[in-house]
Structure 1
Amino acid sequence: MGRRRPNRQLAALLAESGWSAGELARAVNALGTKYGLRLRYDRTAVAHWLEGSRPRPPVPGLVAQVFGRRLGRAVHVGETGLESTAAARGSADAVLSAGDPVERLIALCHADADPGRRLALNRKMFTAADIPLPVWPQVAGPQADRPVGMAQQMTPRRDARLADMVAVFADLAEKYGGAHARSALGAYIADDVTPRLVPAPDGGAPEPVVLTGSACLLHLLGTMAADAGLPNLGYHCYRSALDLAHRAGDRNVYAITLRTMAVLALRLDDMTRARQWSQAALEVAAPTATPDVRCYLHAGRAAVRAAEGERRAALAELLAAERSHETAAGTGPDTADGAGALGPFTRYPPAAFHYVRGEVLQALGDHAQAATAFQESLAVRPSAHHIALVLTHTRLTETSLALGELDGALEQCRQLCAHYPYTASRRTVTALTTVRRSLAPYRRHPQARQIRDHLAQLMRRTSDAAR
């Protein structure tokens, strides 16, 4: 073996950022936690990188991201000098490099079915360059006021199978989380959906209704992957959903997917992408969005603005979302166009809207108003939606503690503990960790200590089940 060459690119980035080796290691470890990774790098590891060693993926991508956030500009993996060799990254690239979205979708679903290839895909960091920037036809004349999303294109009369499967898997994800039945969804897409996306022998293209339904299923697969602790895999699924939605000419589904990606970026502390994608979602959907879609998009944008500390802008977006929510509530379900069967992509449930409203208000420090919003969400949330119930009770625990109401917080903890065993989700695991830490100052309180012990038991059971 030849001698390693010093990594001058990484050294230059360190000098530009003003970081020490230890500070870079801590930043990478912290970001890795957001992606469900337990990293233990220190200044010695960074010293080895500077000498020419290369960490395994996705660490080079994490290094590029933390430098990008530090420097306020895009930093690509190649600039770090840590990029893997072609042989090491070949299998993942083979899946993701297919130019045709249908070919890429087929390869993605088959790779997802293999645990080893699935992890390799999740190590392939997603970049902003992977997002297509399509040109949409101008909407003019009498058609401009008519929504052209799934509600028009995908009715039960035209394709009840895809509509039903969208509803089934969305409901499973709401109840039990992304780590439950995700592989079943991937298999269904690979075995039953992709054959319908392949052009017919006579050259006929797939119908827009099939493309739109497939985009919705890929969107759900991405959401379930991210919820199972595979965020990069989720992003790759979302990318395929965007491609299919664009082919279908469905601006609403395209915008919904962008908004969902923005919220995932927000959870990963990637504010640049969260800001860009949440704004792009509104721009894409603007001409044709239904009130439900506008509510969903404005609520997502409000969450991003609140996280950035932009109080006035966040409240303005929240007001726009509330107005759209009132308009949507006044119209009621339109069973004629099949919206009822396509709830995940045509209706924004009040429970979900009030939850996001609570998140925005909590981020802005309005804990009393946030608690009211979370309670309004609970009042209309189905009792079997265990994921959302765990997350909502977690939020109410936080707001209660912020308001000095320990007894109320402990009652919320009891409620979330009742729903947690039904879940298979990275978000609920994180929620339990957050709650247990928030109760640490009260460890001498008998009931608080008892609940903390119970939370620890639940977390151990989760850890044992994952082995």
Structure 2
Amino acid sequence: MARRRPNQQLAALLAESGWSAGELARAVNALGTKYGLRLRYDRTAVAHWLEGSRPRSPVPGLVAQVFGRRLGRAVHTAETGLDSAAPTRTPTDVVSRTVDPVARLTTLCRADADPARRLALNREMFTSGDVRLPAWPPPTGPRSERPDRTAWTTAAHTDARLADMVTVFAELAEKYGGAHARSALGAYVADDVAPRLTASPDGGTLDPTVLTGSARLMHLLGTMASDAGLPNLGYHCYRSALDLAYRADDRNVYAITLRTMGVLALRLDDPTGARQWSRTALEVAAATATSHVLTYLYAGRALVRATDGERKAALADLLAAERSHAARPGAEADTGPLAPFTRYPPAAFHYQRGEVLLALGDRKQAVTAFHDSLAVRPAGHHIPLVLTHARLAETLLQLGDIEAALDQCRHSCLHYPHTASRRTTTALTALRRSLAPYRRHPQAREVRDRIVQLTRSAAPGSGGMA
């Protein structure tokens, strides 16, 4: 048996980062939790890696990502010396090497329908390097002389049947979460949408209206997968949405998808992807986007910049988002066909504004923004209601207002049983930890026990513009 060679690449990264073996193990375990993994590595495991052993996927990708966060630069899996030497064909390889967007769409939906393939695909780390962003030609003519993009999107590039399905599944995701009806959406795309993409009337050119509708549905499938605790599967769906939107020449859907990917990357401690995708989203759509889409894109980049500590740039983006939000025509409704891709409702914008302000440390203003969001949020949208009440409760606890915080906790618990979402479970778990210092407070203890009861029975796993 050949002796293992010491992993000098990993040793070099450890030295550059200033981490000990135990600190690396803890960072990997913490990031794994965000991907729904229960890892218990310690300094002994890292010592084995340094001696030449290789952990199973997706651990090498997690190691690369935590080093990237620590060092402030992109670190690829190959740089860790932990990637497998054997050229095995993984589920991710099958998807990544499928060039045709229709074939990739079908492959993804079939994988999502098979629990074993779904989990295998989600275990393979997805990185920003997996997305090759094509160059868009610059728009011609001054903005004022170009046709209205809302009319172009909702009329010239809309298929009525697909538009109805987008609205239905977006509403289900907003109300109940990504683990609810996701498999139904995947089956619909594979069985009904894919054949329509291949059955073009001239035998060759794909119908742009069907391409756009398919891109929207794959975007929704990605959002539902990530909300169900399958973020890597979600990324692959987003990538499919990007390919379809590009072929349809739909900058709005392309930019919305990139921005959504950026905020997901932020939640998964991938600042490189968050910065790249949020910036590119605005570069693609800024010249042609509607005020709704611009609000969504600027608000997303503001959160990325605020989290990065770029206060001045974050405030500038937030101001741009507020101006776009205020510039929307007063008669323009926030509901209707394709609302997830043509409308950015005030409730969602105020929630995002609160998140930006919270990341900047402006807790009192964040409280106001969260209250503004709740004031206009539909009563049946359980997912955002759980998240907003929980975020507001945590912020009020930080401000020392325990009674108001407990009231928000109760509201969050009220909506939680209606949800099937990893995000809502994570939000309530974080809320329970925030209440730990108040063990002697009778009402706080009661609320904490209620949260434990609710989340204990939650199944692992399980949103347009939200």
SS in 2 for 1:240: helix
Establish whether residue 42 from structure 1 lines up as the match of residue 45 from structure 2: no
Partner of 2:349: 353
Deviation at 1:169, TM superposition (A): 0.6
Q: Is the Cα–Cα contact under 8 Å of residues 156 and 341 in structure 1 kept in the other structure?
A: no
Establish whether residue 418 from structure 1 lines up as the match of residue 418 from structure 2: no
User: C-alpha separation between the residues in 2 aligned to 1:222 and 1:21?
Assistant: 35
Counterpart among 377, 392, 396 of residue 396 in structure 1: 392
Partner of 1:134: 134
CA gap of 1:7–1:184, structure 2 versus 1, over 3 A, is same
Deviation at 1:146, TM superposition (A): 3.6
Identity %: 73
CA gap of 1:424–1:100, structure 2 versus 1, over 3 A, is same
Partner of 1:447: 443
SS in 1 for 2:159: helix
User: C-alpha separation between the residues in 1 aligned to 2:437 and 2:196?
Assistant: 57
SS in 2 for 1:330: coil
Establish whether residue 8 from structure 1 lines up as the match of residue 8 from structure 2: yes
User: C-alpha separation between the residues in 2 aligned to 1:80 and 1:38?
Assistant: 21
- Counterparts of 1:112-131 in structure 2, within 5 Å, are 112-131=112-131
Q: Is the Cα–Cα contact under 8 Å of residues 150 and 290 in structure 2 kept in the other structure?
A: no
Q: Is the Cα–Cα contact under 8 Å of residues 145 and 287 in structure 1 kept in the other structure?
A: no
Q: Is the Cα–Cα contact under 8 Å of residues 151 and 346 in structure 1 kept in the other structure?
A: no
Q: How far does the alpha carbon of each residue in 1:55-105 deviate from its partner, in whole angstroms, 9 at most, with x for none?
A: 111101001111222223222112222213556543331122112222111
Q: How far does the alpha carbon of each residue in 1:309-340 deviate from its partner, in whole angstroms, 9 at most, with x for none?
A: 22222221111111111111435149xxxx83
User: C-alpha separation between the residues in 2 aligned to 1:193 and 1:465?
Assistant: 26
Q: Is the Cα–Cα contact under 8 Å of residues 151 and 342 in structure 1 kept in the other structure?
A: no
- Between 260-269 and 195-204, report the one with greater CA deviation: 195-204
Deviation at 1:182, TM superposition (A): 0.7
Deviation at 1:106, TM superposition (A): 1.3
Partner of 1:263: 263
Establish whether residue 437 from structure 1 lines up as the match of residue 433 from structure 2: yes
User: C-alpha separation between the residues in 2 aligned to 1:464 and 1:280?
Assistant: 33
Question: How large is the Cα RMSD of the aligned pairs?
Answer: 2.1
Partner of 1:103: 103
Partner of 2:64: 64
Counterpart among 392, 405, 410 of residue 409 in structure 1: 405
Q: Is the Cα–Cα contact under 8 Å of residues 127 and 273 in structure 2 kept in the other structure?
A: no
User: C-alpha separation between the residues in 2 aligned to 1:169 and 1:315?
Assistant: 34
Q: Is the Cα–Cα contact under 8 Å of residues 265 and 271 in structure 1 kept in the other structure?
A: yes
User: C-alpha separation between the residues in 2 aligned to 1:148 and 1:56?
Assistant: 51
Q: Is the Cα–Cα contact under 8 Å of residues 252 and 289 in structure 1 kept in the other structure?
A: yes
User: C-alpha separation between the residues in 2 aligned to 1:139 and 1:201?
Assistant: 28
Q: Is the Cα–Cα contact under 8 Å of residues 147 and 290 in structure 1 kept in the other structure?
A: no
Deviation at 1:17, TM superposition (A): 2.5
Partner of 1:54: 54
Q: How far does the alpha carbon of each residue in 1:166-186 deviate from its partner, in whole angstroms, 9 at most, with x for none?
A: 001100110011111111111
Partner of 1:318: 318
Deviation at 1:429, TM superposition (A): 0.7
- Counterparts of 1:62-461 in structure 2, within 5 Å, are 62-86=62-86, 88-141=88-141, 145-146=145-146, 151-155=151-155, 159-198=159-198, 200=200, 202-330=202-330, 332-333=332-333, 340-461=336-457
User: C-alpha separation between the residues in 1 aligned to 2:457 and 2:419?
Assistant: 12
Q: Is the Cα–Cα contact under 8 Å of residues 147 and 288 in structure 1 kept in the other structure?
A: no
Deviation at 1:159, TM superposition (A): 1.8
Q: Is the Cα–Cα contact under 8 Å of residues 229 and 422 in structure 2 kept in the other structure?
A: yes
Q: Is the Cα–Cα contact under 8 Å of residues 227 and 461 in structure 2 kept in the other structure?
A: no
Q: Is the Cα–Cα contact under 8 Å of residues 397 and 413 in structure 1 kept in the other structure?
A: yes
- Between 76-85 and 168-177, report the one with greater CA deviation: 76-85
Q: How far does the alpha carbon of each residue in 1:395-446 deviate from its partner, in whole angstroms, 9 at most, with x for none?
A: 1102211222111011111111110001111111111111111111111011
- Between 321-330 and 234-243, report the one with greater CA deviation: 321-330
CA gap of 1:416–1:201, structure 2 versus 1, over 3 A, is closer
Q: Is the Cα–Cα contact under 8 Å of residues 148 and 251 in structure 1 kept in the other structure?
A: no
User: C-alpha separation between the residues in 1 aligned to 2:213 and 2:403?
Assistant: 47
User: C-alpha separation between the residues in 1 aligned to 2:180 and 2:344?
Assistant: 23
Give the AA of the match of 2:408.
Answer: Q
Give the AA of the match of 1:21.
Answer: A
Q: Is the Cα–Cα contact under 8 Å of residues 306 and 314 in structure 1 kept in the other structure?
A: yes
Q: Is the Cα–Cα contact under 8 Å of residues 229 and 426 in structure 1 kept in the other structure?
A: yes
Q: Is the Cα–Cα contact under 8 Å of residues 158 and 212 in structure 2 kept in the other structure?
A: no
Deviation at 1:292, TM superposition (A): 0.3
Aligned residue pair count: 462
Q: Is the Cα–Cα contact under 8 Å of residues 148 and 250 in structure 1 kept in the other structure?
A: no
Q: Is the Cα–Cα contact under 8 Å of residues 145 and 288 in structure 1 kept in the other structure?
A: no
Q: Is the Cα–Cα contact under 8 Å of residues 347 and 377 in structure 2 kept in the other structure?
A: yes
User: C-alpha separation between the residues in 2 aligned to 1:8 and 1:439?
Assistant: 44
User: C-alpha separation between the residues in 2 aligned to 1:439 and 1:142?
Assistant: 54
User: C-alpha separation between the residues in 2 aligned to 1:142 and 1:366?
Assistant: 38
Deviation at 1:15, TM superposition (A): 2.7
CA gap of 1:290–1:140, structure 2 versus 1, over 3 A, is same
